[in-house]
Amino acid sequence: DIAPEFGALLVFIEHRFYGESKPFGNDSYKSADTLGYLTSTQALADFAVLITSLKQNLSAVDAPVVVFGGSYGGMLASWFRLKYPHVAMGALASSAPILQFDDITPWSSFYDAVSQDFKSESLNCFSVIKAVWDVLDYRGSNDSGLLELSKTFRACKTVRFPSSLSNWLWTAFTYTAMVDYPTPANFMMNLPAYPVKEMCKIIDSFPVGADVVEKAFTAASLYYNYTGDQKCFEMEGGDDPHGLSGWGWQACTEMVMPMTVSNESMFPPSGFSYEEKSEGCFASYEVRPRMNWITTEY
């Protein structure tokens, strides 16, 4: 919006290992040997080199640069300004969780904030989501229950684990809060403006006494199927359209952000242990996390 006022050039730089920028082609995610090049420090260095050479190529060596980012991109914007103050004169970091490390901020902050998004729209909406997890576990405890739930959730294949259904709902509610924009957007999925409000409207429109699982499923479908073109849903072993497995690697090596779920949240309470995190990462990637690297490096 403001670029024309400043006669500014907008440049979108793609992060290594995401989108088309795969340094080892289809083998980029194959093992720790190739994934080892996926780090925030390397990405920031890419940006510094690219910006510097771009300015030379455009004969605009003296043009000031401001970097912008949101979420992880916002963290990169903050850190870029710290690490390369001679390249960027300023940074605008939106929703950048640069304090979500070590003991800087309460570990329950993230899921408390997500829950508050729903609670502020409708207490009934919040209560329905809070109630659904135990019901799913109970009904999914045997094969006939899983079969029924698979039908309710319009799963493409019969689901093997109740946790797959919980994860599907969890993802929908969490990501919708993360992209709760005031305008229609398709950053993660095609969504309307204020999607949290729309989800809660769906839940609140059900008659009293309607099934809690049906309510939660229908609300979550807004995230996965707002356009209405999905005939069924992949609950287990689906593809990775947003490159989130790359983030899984980053979260397992340097981005160790401790997160817990408090009793006040709409999600099932859970704790965080560095030891468990380490074991989980070793099982996935055969690497151990650098627990305090971010607060050391930045």
For the chain of 298 residues, list the mean pLDDT of each consecutive stretch of 10.
Answer: 94 94 92 95 98 97 96 96 98 95 94 97 97 95 94 93 93 94 90 96 95 96 93 80 77 94 96 95 94 94
State the Cα–Cα distance between residues 50 and 242, nearest whole angstrom. 24
In contact, 78 and 67? CB cutoff 8 Å: no
Q: Which residues pair with 155 in a beta bridge?
A: 233
Supply the pLDDT for residue 252.
Answer: 93
State the Cα–Cα distance between residues 196 and 274, nearest whole angstrom. 32
Domain with CATH 1.20.120.980 in the chain: 107-291
Which alpha helices (H) appear in the chain, and where do they start and end? 3-6, 32-35, 40-57, 72-83, 109-121, 123-139, 143-152, 162-178, 195-204, 212-225, 244-253, 274-285, 293-297
Q: Which residues pair with 66 in a beta bridge?
A: 90
DSSP state of 108: T
CATH superfamily of 107-291: Serine carboxypeptidase S28, SKS domain (1.20.120.980)
Supply the pLDDT for residue 283.
Answer: 94
